[in-house]
Structure 1
Amino acid sequence: MAWGMTRFVVLLGGDLTATSRLASQIQKARIIAADGGMAHAEPLGVEPELWVGDFDSTSEDLAERHKDVTRHAFPAEKDKTDGEIAVDEAIKLGAREIVLVGGLGGQTDHAASHLGLILKLGRRRVYSFITSGTEEAYPILNGTHHFDLPPGSRFSVVPFTDLAGLDLEGVKWPLVNRSVPLGSSLTVSNVALGPVTVRLNQGYAVALAYPESVA
């Protein structure tokens, strides 16, 4: 899929390391910030077009520095996280590809919900992944998936259901047509030899990658 004006970046709270790889992943994208995720705007050299959330994680200083950004405020007592609200806004604006920046590390409940969110987006045929700059998370649904990773990168596939017909290529320990039950660590801490291909016949999983030489 061509990257263009349907490509959005959503800035989330959580860990962030500004790397050249991350910069290339977000270039020429439209930017939306979710509450305290706005803190990532300056390190990344971007200015969001929209800022959403209940703003309970936004300091007065951060609010002042980005006072000219359009805001959509939501009550603190709501049925969605600020991150999911930002993703919904991106989709309303025509997003077909969404890069969630941040969203890993920090609070485990939020990080886990973000992993579920990219699986949901994948089921809706919206391409998405999460990156902190040093850690990346991708949804694995039925079909073939390709990942451009530097050799030596740690690469894991974490099942969210029982998996059937799993192939791993381009890794130190390849697999062919394997069944992997929910909770198995069989596919954790593999090593990419270069670009990685994952094929899956049945189930849902998340691939976690830790790119080498990310600075």
Structure 2
Amino acid sequence: MMQPRIVICTGGQLGPFALEHIDTADLLIGADSGARFLVNHGYRPDISIGDFDSVSEQELLAIRSSSSQTIACDPIDKDYTDTEMAMRLALDLQPREIILIGALGTRFDHSLANVHLLALASEAQVPASIIDNHNKITLLTDTAFISHHGYPNVSLLPLSLKVTGITLTGFQYPLDDASLTIGQSLGISNVLLSESGRIAIASGLLLVIQSRD
């Protein structure tokens, strides 16, 4: 039996776009106010998790009554953010894929930490992506084909100190066995020449950021 896809809804910027990325077959995890968003839009989270310091007592009661399972923790005595707790829980369930929505927002520290969570999924060999209304972010460790899907810009940034052997096929600005190190902007704002392109690397962790204005 195929493992489910897991969609984690967390407490960053959310809106109608988020609902477009939820399918009826998905296992839904709501992290803190992300659970409130799901419940307010008629979804029943399979699991709601967090310290719930971003919701009122009445909203927490609604989350508990509308979720199949609720895992609450003390806001002080915890080691992980709500989103990381949700990600680690999702990885324990061994899904075929993880989608993070609401992972980007006005708190840059949380946004950056959430991008780093893609490395956890990569270590577990689970495909994962962060999606908002303007971006789709994935982490590459070998080779991938990416599709346009309404995101005309493609930027490449190293998450490790160095990424080597970068080869791009099907892009306006090709690369052949190139390297990127932290602090370089060489990989910013490339463009697919058609509906899909190929990215291959030899070593390192490469963020692939597809974006639109």
For this structure pair, what is the TM-score category when the shorter chain's length is used for normalisation? 0.7 to 0.9
Matches within 5 A, 1:37-186: 37-41=34-38, 46-60=43-57, 62-68=59-65, 69=67, 70-77=69-76, 78-141=78-141, 143-150=142-149, 153-160=152-159, 161-186=161-186
Q: Deviations over 1:161-188 (max 9, x none)?
A: 2111101222221111111222110001
Taking a change above 3 Å as real, the CA distance of residues 82 and 151 of structure 1, as seen in their structure-2 partners, is: closer
Using the TM superposition, give the Cα deviation of residue 60 of structure 1 relative to its aligned residue in structure 2, in angstroms. 4.1
| Structure 1 match to 2:13 | 15
Using the TM superposition, give the Cα deviation of residue 53 of structure 1 relative to its aligned residue in structure 2, in angstroms. 0.4
Q: Distance in 1 between matches of 2:40 and 2:17?
A: 10
Q: Distance in 1 between matches of 2:41 and 2:128?
A: 19
| Structure 2 match to 1:36 | 33
Taking a change above 3 Å as real, the CA distance of residues 44 and 190 of structure 1, as seen in their structure-2 partners, is: farther
Taking a change above 3 Å as real, the CA distance of residues 189 and 41 of structure 1, as seen in their structure-2 partners, is: same
Q: Distance in 2 between matches of 1:171 and 1:19?
A: 27
TM-score by length of 1: 0.86
Provide structure 1 residue ranges, at least 5 long, that are not aligned to the other structure: none
Taking a change above 3 Å as real, the CA distance of residues 167 and 26 of structure 1, as seen in their structure-2 partners, is: farther
The percent identity for this pair of structures is: 28
TM-score by length of 2: 0.86
Across the aligned residues of Structure 1 and Structure 2, the Cα RMSD in angstroms comes to: 2.3
Using the TM superposition, give the Cα deviation of residue 44 of structure 1 relative to its aligned residue in structure 2, in angstroms. 6.3
How many residue pairs match? The answer is 207
Q: Distance in 2 between matches of 1:51 and 1:62?
A: 12
Q: Of the candidates 1, 4, 7, which is equivalent to residue 6 of structure 1?
A: 4
| Structure 2 match to 1:202 | 203
**SS across alignment from 2:98:** strand
Using the TM superposition, give the Cα deviation of residue 192 of structure 1 relative to its aligned residue in structure 2, in angstroms. 2.4
**SS across alignment from 2:144:** strand
The residue identity in structure 2 corresponding to 1:37 is: G
8 A contact 2:9–2:100 mirrored in 1: yes
Using the TM superposition, give the Cα deviation of residue 151 of structure 1 relative to its aligned residue in structure 2, in angstroms. 6.5
Provide structure 2 residue ranges, at least 5 long, that are not aligned to the other structure: none
